[in-house]
Structure formats: C-alpha cells, structure tokens
Amino acid sequence: MLAHCRKAIVFASIVVGLFALVASCSKVPLLAPTGSVITLLPEATSVSLNSQSTIVATVIENGVATQGGNGSGTTTASRTGAGTPVQNGTVVTFTTTLGQIQPSEASTHNGQVQVSFITGNTPGTANITAYSGGASQSITLKVGSAAVKNVGLSAAPQSLPVSGGVSQLVATVTDDAGSPIGGVPVSFVTDHGTLSPATINTDGNGYATTVLSTTSTAKVTATAGSVTSTAITINVNSPALSSFTATPSSTSAGTPVTFAVAPATGVTIPDVRVDFGDGSSNDLGAISGPTSTSHPYGSAGIYTAIATPSDGTALRTQVVVGSLPVVLAAVPNPTTVDTPTTFTVSGTAAAAVDHYQWSWDDGTASFATSGPQVTHTFSSRGTKTIRVDVYGVGGGLLGSATLAITVQ
C-alpha cells in the first residue's frame, strides 16, 4: 500500500512537471527554424528627413545560399528561399543605427512582416538588420543629404534686360535612383548679385527655389550634401526683347494662357516666334510694341515658353498647368427607372473643350457630345457609375469625372 502511494506521488509530480514545462514553453517566442532565410524589401532606396518608409521582411524555410541582396546597400546571410513561408506568428526583430523601426518586433503572416523606418533630423546612412532565430539580413538606407546623387539647376528667365532684374532659380535634388529627396538643405552661391534665400530645404518633390537679383551677368551653383550642380549663367545684356510674360502663370488644362511679348523701347523686331513648350508655336511676325498671343495647354505639366526674336536674346517664362477641375452632377439624383436624367459637366467654362466622351455601365455604348450636358434613361434598378472625359482642342485629355447614381 505504501509503495503504491509512492508511485502515485511520483506520477503526479511528473504530470505537474510536464504542465509547468508546457506553460513555460508557451511563453517562448516562435523563431525561424534553422535553414531559414530573411529577405528585406525597402520601399525606396533613400528616405527624406522627418519622414517614414515601409520595409517588408520575407522569411522562408529551407533557403538556398546566393550572392547579393535587396536595398541600396550590402546584405548578410542573403539567400533565395527555396522552401515555404515560416509558420504564422514567427517573431522577427529589427534594429537600426539611425532613426527608428516601428514596431521593432513583428510576427509573420504568410511569411511576411511589414514595419516602418522613421527618420528624424539627422542625415546619414542607416544600417538596418532583421533577424529571427539563426536567420538575418542587413541593408543600408541613405537618409536626407547622405542620399543626394544629383543636383540640377534651372533659371527663369535666364536673360535679363540691360538694367538687370530678378531670376527664379530652381534646384532639383534626386538620389541614385532618380527619385526626389525632400527636407535637404540646398545652398546657392553666385558671383554677382544677391540670392534670397541663400539656403533653403527641398520640398516633397525635391525642389528648392531661390531668387537672384542682379545688375550684371551672374553664375549660380547649388549644393546639397556633397554634390554641387553645374553652374548656370543668367545673362544681363541689351536684348531686342524687353519682356515676355504669361498670364496666368498657373492655370488648368484647356484654359487659354495669354503670352505678352514686348520689344525694347524704340526697337522694331523683324520677326518673333513664341514656342509654348508643348511642341506648338506661333510666329508673331514683325513687332514694334507690346504684342500678345494666347494658347491653351492640352494636359497638366510644367511648361517653359520661349520667345525668340530674329535678332537678340530669347526670353523664357514658365507656366504651371494642372488638370481641369471637372465636376459631374445629375438631376434627379437618385432617379427612377425609365425617368430621363440630365447629366451636366461643370468646371470647364474657361477651357477650350473639343468634346465630352460619356461612358455608362448599364450596357449603353460610349459616345461623345460637343456640349457639357446629356440626358439618359436607365432601364434597370441599382447603382450606376457614369464617367465623362473632357478633351481639348488638339486631342489632349483635360480632365475626367465619375458619378455614382442610384436608380430606384
């Protein structure tokens, strides 16, 4: 009887021990098994200051070793996965030498985790590592000015009258992939005149803008990080043209822009040609006073128009063109089956519109109208989506709009 009790006590102790072991193991994080590989896929090859970028880590079991890796820098333990994704819930830990990784630990789903690399005010190179179990991979991402590969510089106008004037200079900062870099300080230097401001940070499109005021020909350079642009020359002379302007200088596609050309006082120019920057031009012939011409742009973009006299220096001006703000409305809305419904396009009044292309999702074939209004009758109930594309003279797409209407 005593021996039987002792056996029972021993058995109970073993059971309790097993339960304790299971409970202890349940607290241990699930890590990638031996032979797994990690691949890091950054959203971009460089990151701006005070911003964030997504990094995806893929964890595969039974990988095969290879050379190279992903990202803009070197890798360690890089392999091409030949097996299957690791078990869901496998924990991957991230570290970085610059900025932050949030979250610093993440659990896989279908073999992947996604984290954010968050930068601060400090430029440099971030060494980012992901590891789980015995698998790891590292990449480098350049941050801010450390990522600068190229600095381009443009000026408008690039020729000033004999008395001098002001020219707007735009520096474009990109990385080795040609992507713009925001938040990078750009320093401008000139050998004549003054620059305001002399230093400014790039915007989200990688642009930094300053204004040169000068009474004599000046050379300007722009520097970002360790890269300096090619010098650009702003000429101050006595051109045959005294001015070349665009009104408005910022507009919508299809809206006519008026270009005004003026010769120097007392000068008659035998011929002046205006190139609008989109492949079209207009020959103004001889001018002896202020002369205007208008032109609508068929699509969004930044255009540089050039006025070229038969003698003297050409002048340039820039026009920023956005998409036409097209709005589509229906009356009545909602509507009913077999009820004529009127669709009207607005926002195109100032544009040079060629036609309106209408598309329907109720089986009606697409068709074009010359006016901004059309009437349509629906034969079935439900939510219908109508689209209109507005085309300008010359065939360019000026803008589009869609409208969902309920047919009861």
User: What tokens were used for 325?
Assistant: 């703000």
Report which of 96, 10, 2 is spatially closest to residue 57, judged by C-alpha positions: 96
**What pLDDT does 398 receive?**
83
Task: HSE, CB side, 13 Å, CA atoms: give it for residue 38.
Answer: 33
Token digits for 280?
């079209």
Range list for CATH 2.60.40.10 in the chain: 37-145, 148-236, 241-322, 327-407
How many separate helices (H) and strands (E) can be counted in the chain?
1, 36
Provide the strand spans (E) within 149-196: 150-156, 159-160, 165-174, 185-190, 194-196
270, 241 contact by CB (below 8 A): no
Q: Which CATH architecture has domain 327-407?
A: Sandwich (2.60)
β-strand partners of 132: 135
The torsion defined by the Cα of 327, 333, 336 and 338, in degrees rounded to 10, comes to -40
Residue 25 confidence (pLDDT): 47
Partners of 222 in beta bridges = 188
Closest CA to 344 of 120, 333, 275: 333
- Residues near 375 by beta carbon (within 8 Å), at least 6 away in sequence: 340, 341, 342, 343
What pLDDT is stored for residue 63 in this prediction? Answer: 61
Domain 37-145 fold? Immunoglobulin-like (2.60.40)
Give the single-character DSSP code of 4: H
In 3D space, the residue among 169, 317, 156, 182 whose CA is nearest the CA of residue 251 turns out to be: 317
Which pLDDT score is estimated for 19? 44
Q: What is the CATH number of domain 241-322?
A: 2.60.40.10
CATH number for the domain running over 148-236: 2.60.40.10
Burial call 328-345: b when 16+ CB within 10 Å, e when fewer: bebeeeebeeeeebebeb
Q: Are residues 329 and 374 in contact, defined by beta-carbon separation less than 8 angstroms?
A: no
E strands, 66-134, are 79-81, 91-96, 100-102, 105-107, 112-118, 124-132
- My answer on whether omega of the bond before 332 falls inside 30° of 0, hence cis, is yes
Q: What is the pLDDT of residue 267?
A: 76
pLDDT tens digits in sequence order for the chain, 408 residues long: 444 444 444 444 444 454 444 444 456 789 999 989 999 999 888 888 888 899 999 999 986 544 444 444 444 444 454 579 999 999 999 999 999 999 999 999 999 999 999 998 888 899 999 999 999 999 999 998 888 999 999 999 998 876 689 999 999 999 988 889 988 999 999 999 999 999 999 998 999 999 999 988 899 999 999 999 999 999 886 557 889 999 999 888 888 999 999 988 877 888 999 999 999 999 999 998 999 999 998 888 899 999 999 867 789 999 998 888 889 999 999 999 999 999 999 988 778 788 999 999 888 999 999 999 999 999 999 999 999 998 887 777 888 899 999 999
Task: Return d(Cα 314, Cα 403) in angstroms, integer.
Answer: 47
Q: For the chain, how many residues are written?
A: 408
